[in-house]
A and B are shown apart, each in its own frame.
Chain A
Amino acid sequence: MTDASRSAHDAARALRDLALVLRPVLARPGRLVASVLGVAVGVAAVVSTLAGSGAAVSSLGEDVEMLAGPSVLEVRGPGGVPTAALEPLRPLCDEVLLVPVVEDTVLVAASDRRVRVLGLDLLADRRLVEAGVRTGAAIDDAAGARELLFGTGVLVPSGLAEELGAVKGGSLELTIHSRRSDVAVVDVFDPGRLASPWADTLVADVDTARELFDRGERFDRVEFVPREAATSGVEALRERARGLLAGTAFERLRVEPPSTRRAEGERMVSALRFNLAALSGVSMLVGVALVATTLATSVVQRRERLALMRSLGASRLQLGLGVLGEAATIGLVGGAVGVARGSIGADLAVAGVRGAAFSIAPRATGTEVRFESWWIGLGLALGLGSATLAALLPLREAASVPPIQGLRSERPRPLRARGHAIAWSAAFALLAIAAVLLQLPPIGRRPVYALTATVVVMGACVATTPSVLDAASRLRVGGAVVLRLAQAGLSSSLGRASWATGAVAIAVGLAIAMTTFVGSFRRTITEWTEDALSADVLVRSSSVDGMRPEAARAIAAAATAGDVAFYRESPAWFGDATIRLGGSDFGVMAAHSRTPMVAGGATRDVFARALREQGVIVNEPFARQFDRWVGDDVTIEAADGVLAARVVGVAREYAGQEGRVYVDAARYAELVPDPTVASIALFLPEGADAGEQRERMARAVPADSDAAVVLRRELITEVMSIFDRSFAVTVALQILASIAAALAVVTVLGALVRERRFDLAVVRVVGATRRQVTALVLGEAFVLGAVGAAIGATMGVAIGWILVAVVNVQSHGWSLSFVPPWVALCWTAAAVVPACLVAGLPPAYEATARVPREVLRENG
């Protein structure tokens, strides 16, 4: 035999072996599709959530280093870097190019699209060239260069230009600080590689950006780009820069690598991504349950064939490998389908996630979802992993199938007292572990242990299913023979029935847990907004940038009644952490505010004390994250100085998970030079006409401003609407989990019917009608559904409590009121049992479709 023919022979043999493994899978295409879908649903949920959340907040972290290009270090400070700080840094120019940068986001007026604007020193900076950005010849002309360097010209990436309808020589209307500004499109550039961050970036000269964003005499950062053959290393350069700043007015500025900024961005979004991923990961559990039941069904259906193979000499290992082969096939195909579905679903997920992401990072631009090759690896790994995990129990069952002789004498084995004891012992042990896990602190802001506890609680509940199901099958609730037969049927196949019940319980549990969490959250937000949004009329910019002071003053001056308070906000540092520093008129707040306080006393007393003692109020996320409560001292680094003050109150806040520190407006003005006004609150006296004041203020909004004047009620409605949008993704996950659970019931019942086809045929032969057999199968479905719903409800309430009381506090720093979902419980119970009954219809049809004597003949 030649080598070629030997290779061909080997290949053919491998194909035959593969076909042998796959034959049982392919023989039942319906079951295969259900299993694959189960895995695919889970994988799709994970991929779409990860991709969606990534796209929603991509601008915060992932692009930092690519846009930073060749820079090795950068100088940053709260509120930016004063222009004058370049003076002490000047000596560094012998080895680096000092590149001032202004970076922000704008809203493109026509499209409601938020894009990044990167202001670079186009005269000195080389990064565009080094990033491979290709620009046209436009800047060769004098007018273009003049507009770019000394006017308000921008360079627009080609994809964005197409999307926004921008053309070279035209203009773009941007909304910045609530004012609409036209910028000239000097050129449309080719951003080079796909997925380049330049593709979502308008490039402007740094001075243009400084003017557009009202930076005054400040840059956002100053980057160090080494000149060719620069001698010292990065650390030496850093020390040199620190040495130059030491002893100057700018010594508080920090010299850090660009990766630090990326890490900050990642930190901001990582908790969100982690939670979303964990949430979607739970749906994988349903997929695992489904695959487990499917594989087990496959084993059950082929018990006789497996027994025959054992009799003919097949080893346990060979049978086990067969099951693993099936699992791998289902996992891989399911993973691939899941990736495809997930990448489609990611676009939808972005919309859901963006709301949540926006509350964390208002300046996140959000990008289109782009397919990433690593999704394939992740999807296949998840699919394969979950299917392999799911194969463990069926594997055990397959390996334990006795030879055909032994099979003849096998009888149903009801759960004995020892079995009950084991099930409940396992459940209590798991609950004890969960209790311990709940005492552990989060890792960073990731509630890893608490989320693990939810899985453990889930396991504890599932562990009780054989016992509860067995008890349910013994329960005598009346004289209905059909129900008794159904109970007996389930009792004889307790293992498989337990898995189906577990799958239903997980689905119900997830649904109720999410409902509990979202319901509690929503109730808390509703109560909070009623109190916290106490201003009768509120003015804010439609974009998130705030309003220019002159526009804010004009609008405020239009009010003819009540008290006005401006709210300003800017980034600041608390130690190494980035926080927000807010400033408002504490005098006005002391008279009118109803913002709920977690600690410190009555709201108005807190504001009055803060004003009197020059103290600060912090929000709950700040207090929890940094463990600073009433009476503690805090030191905050702001743009123009350091604030050292005592905490006099902790305000409840759900507007974001960032830590915020509030000071009186006068102190704020000393600390932050940026006069941009974030919002204006008008507190009216009793009986004043808010609608009239709103009209007056709306008329005073300058023509070029996008400031919106809204009434309190409208704002509350909007807040709740944003809330509901933010949690739309959880509803989607609920639906996915429910679909997977329904598939589990169909599959398991189908398997049970097939396993007991002889028994059912006997029942038919002794006189049972088709309707009675149908009722028998549906009775089994009812018991499965009822037990699953009961266990799931218990599980859901427990997990919901963990999410509300532990996970949420650890992750966001928000304390919520726990609202048990009684209505949801009723609805779920009312919906799940009928759903299981519907899911029982196909198996019931299968049970009655065949002529009983044929079945009896088949089984000898």
Chain B
Amino acid sequence: MRTVELLRATALVVLALASSGASVQDGYDVVRRGVELAYPRDHGAHPGHRTEWWYVTGQVEDASGRVFGYQFTIFRVAIAPPLLATERSKQVYAGHFAVADVEGRDFRVAERLRRGGTPLARASVEDLDVVLEDWRVVRAASGELVVEAGDVAEGIAIAFELRPEKELVLHGEDGWSQKGPGETNASAYASFTRLASRGTLSIDGERREVSGTSWFDHEYGTSQLGEGVVGWDWCGLHLDDGRDLMCYVLRREDGTLDPRSSGTLVDADGAARHLTSSDFEFESSGTFTSARTGATYPDRFRIVVPSASLDLRLVPRLADCELTTGASTRVSYWEGPVQVSGSAGGGGYLELTGYAGTLEGRF
């Protein structure tokens, strides 16, 4: 008999239950082509779908010009489909919160994990209001998003108000974002791509007034990734000319890119254009090897969108932005602020998954 850390083992199993195709039961809702998204209702949770997340990333700076990146994510996972759900909540919530101090070369991560059904982990089904313990993202009556997160042990905290500068963007075909071969291998995906951000950021008790630009993603679905997909490279960029670019490539086991890789280019006036995999190139090079996990990530990127005359180069502002989330989702990935140069300058956030173990079958 061996010692098992119950917490971690259970968390692993819960996430595995939720994500493994083998243990999924019929009865979950799925996202189909022609999904009709209505807001503010669809900012809220969709407990009938297996997975869902609310994602906020951004770069802010204090009065002295010191730059910080931050990532705040709450995942919702349904353990059982709604038809089987009894009174007891079958929802589990996990959270990741990271702050990157670019000048201080410091990267800190906090996690949360809770089952739903109590005020400590809940999500409204009517509007954006998601709570995970002391963390929260909520849409205020003014339309601003309020993000609050903190962790005493890690010494980090944020309290931001995010004002959308552009209308909500629906990715893919009116929000239907196909990621696999079937119609239902898809998520419903929407973003506020440019949010004017202000608030306070604290590190080790030192509180700073900061401002900057953030990106909000909300995505839900049941069975998204196609067979053979081991991870993805994703970015959400704010270009200095007012345009915003989201694109991701789904990497396959054999080294090729899945044709369902896609993106969205949002003009300065908020007009959005869906990009298919043939509309852009996403190249990666260089290496960064994590001392924690031994995983090797690329650290140089080039994105070309010929139809928009974009040839961008992305460089991480901080090399080590790897999250190891042993106490929640048990996934290790790289997510951090990047600087954009090339045909346009700017900044944004980059996410690299599947380099420290495959994500196949998990989403």
**Complex interface: chain A residues within 8 A of B16 (CB):** 142
**Of residues 129 to 169 in B, which have CB atoms within 8 Å of A's CB atoms?**
131, 133-135, 150-153, 157
**Complex interface: chain A residues within 8 A of B90 (CB):** 150
Nearest B residue to A139 by beta-carbon distance?
B9
Does chain A have a CB within 8 A of B276? no
Chain A: residues with Cβ within 8 Å of the partner, total of 43
Binds A, one of B115-123, B187-195, B215-223: B115-123
25 CB contacts below 8 A, A to B, read A83-B117, A86-B119, A90-B120, A90-B131, A92-B134, A94-B152, A98-B120, A98-B133, A100-B118, A124-B7, A124-B114, A128-B6, A136-B2, A142-B13, A142-B17, A145-B10, A146-B17, A149-B10, A149-B79, A150-B88, A150-B90, A190-B1, A207-B115, A227-B153, A229-B153
Roughly how many angstroms separate A52 CA and B57 CA in the complex, as a whole number?
Answer: 62
B3 touches A125 (CB 8 A): no
B120 touches A86 (CB 8 A): yes
Does chain A have a CB within 8 A of B315? no
Given that A94-B151, A142-B17, A142-B23 are known contacts, is A126 also in contact with B120, CB under 8 Å in the complex?
no
Measured between C-beta atoms, what is the minimum distance from A719 to chain B in Å? 40
Does chain B have a CB within 8 A of A249? no
**Complex interface: chain B residues within 8 A of A137 (CB):** 1-2, 4
Does chain B have a CB within 8 A of A135? yes
Measured between C-beta atoms, what is the minimum distance from A827 to chain B in Å? 60
**Complex interface: chain A residues within 8 A of B88 (CB):** 150, 207, 211
Does chain A have a CB within 8 A of B80? yes
Does chain B have a CB within 8 A of A140? yes
Given that A92-B134, A150-B79 are known contacts, is A136 also in contact with B119, CB under 8 Å in the complex?
no
Does chain B have a CB within 8 A of A129? yes
Nearest B residue to A231 by beta-carbon distance?
B152
Nearest B residue to A228 by beta-carbon distance?
B153
Nearest A residue to B89 by beta-carbon distance?
A207
Does chain B have a CB within 8 A of A590? no
Does chain B have a CB within 8 A of A720? no
Does chain A have a CB within 8 A of B11? yes
Q: Mark B3-31, 1 if CB is under 8 A from A, else 0.
A: 11111011111101100100100000000
A227 touches B152 (CB 8 A): yes
**Complex interface: chain A residues within 8 A of B87 (CB):** 211
Roughly how many angstroms separate A137 CA and B150 CA in the complex, as a whole number?
Answer: 34
B5 touches A94 (CB 8 A): no
**Complex interface: chain B residues within 8 A of A211 (CB):** 87-88
**Of residues 135 to 170 in A, which have CB atoms within 8 Å of B's CB atoms?**
135-137, 139-142, 144-146, 148-150
Roughly how many angstroms separate A190 CA and B2 CA in the complex, as a whole number?
Answer: 10
Q: Which 5 A-B pairs have the closest CB atoms?
A: A93-B133, A145-B13, A93-B134, A87-B119, A95-B152
A129 touches B119 (CB 8 A): no
Roughly how many angstroms separate A323 CA and B201 CA in the complex, as a whole number?
Answer: 80
Roughly how many angstroms separate A98 CA and B1 CA in the complex, as a whole number?
Answer: 30
Measured between C-beta atoms, what is the minimum distance from B2 to chain A in Å? 7
Roughly how many angstroms separate A84 CA and B89 CA in the complex, as a whole number?
Answer: 15
Roughly how many angstroms separate A228 CA and B134 CA in the complex, as a whole number?
Answer: 16
Does chain B have a CB within 8 A of A706? no
Roughly how many angstroms separate A134 CA and B5 CA in the complex, as a whole number?
Answer: 8
Measured between C-beta atoms, what is the minimum distance from B363 to chain A in Å? 17
Q: Mark A325-337, 1 if CB is under 8 A from B, else 0.
A: 0000000000000
| Number of A-B contacts defined by CB within 8 Å | 113
Does chain B have a CB within 8 A of A123? yes
Roughly how many angstroms separate A731 CA and B151 CA in the complex, as a whole number?
Answer: 62
**Complex interface: chain A residues within 8 A of B118 (CB):** 83, 86, 100
B113 touches A90 (CB 8 A): no
Does chain B have a CB within 8 A of A91? yes
Does chain B have a CB within 8 A of A122? yes
A135 touches B133 (CB 8 A): no
Given that A123-B113, A135-B4, A146-B79 are known contacts, is A94 also in contact with B150, CB under 8 Å in the complex?
yes
**Of residues 175 to 202 in A, which have CB atoms within 8 Å of B's CB atoms?**
190
**Complex interface: chain B residues within 8 A of A145 (CB):** 10, 13-14, 17
**Complex interface: chain B residues within 8 A of A229 (CB):** 152-153
A150 touches B80 (CB 8 A): yes
Does chain A have a CB within 8 A of B186? no
Does chain A have a CB within 8 A of B92? yes
Most buried by B among A93, A137, A141, A144: A93
A93 touches B120 (CB 8 A): yes
**Complex interface: chain B residues within 8 A of A664 (CB):** none
Nearest A residue to B136 by beta-carbon distance?
A90
**Complex interface: chain A residues within 8 A of B89 (CB):** 207
Measured between C-beta atoms, what is the minimum distance from A282 to chain B in Å? 49
Q: Mark A80-107, 1 if CB is under 8 A from B, else 0.
A: 0001101100111111001010000000
**Complex interface: chain B residues within 8 A of A93 (CB):** 112, 120, 133-135
Does chain B have a CB within 8 A of A121? yes
Nearest B residue to A155 by beta-carbon distance?
B6
**Complex interface: chain A residues within 8 A of B4 (CB):** 134-137, 139-140
Q: List chain B positions with a Cβ less than 8 A from chain A.
A: 1-7, 9-14, 16-17, 20, 23, 79-80, 87-90, 92, 112-115, 117-120, 131, 133-135, 150-153, 157
B115 touches A139 (CB 8 A): no
Measured between C-beta atoms, what is the minimum distance from B78 to chain A in Å? 11
Most buried by A among B3, B10, B79, B157: B10
Nearest A residue to B8 by beta-carbon distance?
A129
Roughly how many angstroms separate A148 CA and B7 CA in the complex, as a whole number?
Answer: 12
Q: Mark A588-626, 1 if CB is under 8 A from B, else 0.
A: 000000000000000000000000000000000000000
Roughly how many angstroms separate A227 CA and B112 CA in the complex, as a whole number?
Answer: 11
Does chain B have a CB within 8 A of A230? yes
Roughly how many angstroms separate A364 CA and B185 CA in the complex, as a whole number?
Answer: 55
Roughly how many angstroms separate A150 CA and B116 CA in the complex, as a whole number?
Answer: 12
> Which one of B10, B79, B92 lies within 8 Å of A139 (CB-CB)?
B10
Nearest A residue to B85 by beta-carbon distance?
A150
**Complex interface: chain B residues within 8 A of A135 (CB):** 3-4, 6
**Complex interface: chain A residues within 8 A of B117 (CB):** 83, 207
A123 touches B120 (CB 8 A): no
**Complex interface: chain A residues within 8 A of B152 (CB):** 94-95, 227, 229-231
B6 touches A90 (CB 8 A): no
A90 touches B153 (CB 8 A): no
Most buried by B among A83, A126, A150: A150
Nearest B residue to A229 by beta-carbon distance?
B153
> Which one of A86, A100, A139 lies within 8 Å of B6 (CB-CB)?
A139
B151 touches A227 (CB 8 A): yes
Roughly how many angstroms separate A134 CA and B152 CA in the complex, as a whole number?
Answer: 30
B1 touches A136 (CB 8 A): yes
Measured between C-beta atoms, what is the minimum distance from B72 to chain A in Å? 14
Roughly how many angstroms separate A834 CA and B86 CA in the complex, as a whole number?
Answer: 75
Roughly how many angstroms separate A129 CA and B4 CA in the complex, as a whole number?
Answer: 8
**Complex interface: chain B residues within 8 A of A150 (CB):** 79-80, 88, 90
**Complex interface: chain A residues within 8 A of B79 (CB):** 146, 149-150
Nearest A residue to B1 by beta-carbon distance?
A136
B1 touches A134 (CB 8 A): yes
Roughly how many angstroms separate A149 CA and B133 CA in the complex, as a whole number?
Answer: 19
Measured between C-beta atoms, what is the minimum distance from A654 to chain B in Å? 41
**Of residues 200 to 248 in A, which have CB atoms within 8 Å of B's CB atoms?**
207, 211, 227-231
Q: Mark A302-332, 1 if CB is under 8 A from B, else 0.
A: 0000000000000000000000000000000
A122 touches B153 (CB 8 A): no
Measured between C-beta atoms, what is the minimum distance from A143 to chain B in Å? 9
Roughly how many angstroms separate A507 CA and B13 CA in the complex, as a whole number?
Answer: 67
> Which one of B13, B92, B157 lies within 8 Å of A140 (CB-CB)?
B13
Roughly how many angstroms separate A140 CA and B133 CA in the complex, as a whole number?
Answer: 26
Roughly how many angstroms separate A803 CA and B157 CA in the complex, as a whole number?
Answer: 64
**Complex interface: chain B residues within 8 A of A142 (CB):** 13, 16-17, 20, 23
Measured between C-beta atoms, what is the minimum distance from A308 to chain B in Å? 71
B115 touches A149 (CB 8 A): yes
Measured between C-beta atoms, what is the minimum distance from A9 to chain B in Å? 55
**Complex interface: chain B residues within 8 A of A136 (CB):** 1-2, 4
Nearest B residue to A151 by beta-carbon distance?
B88
Roughly how many angstroms separate A146 CA and B13 CA in the complex, as a whole number?
Answer: 9
Q: Mark A110-130, 1 if CB is under 8 A from B, else 0.
A: 000000000001111110110
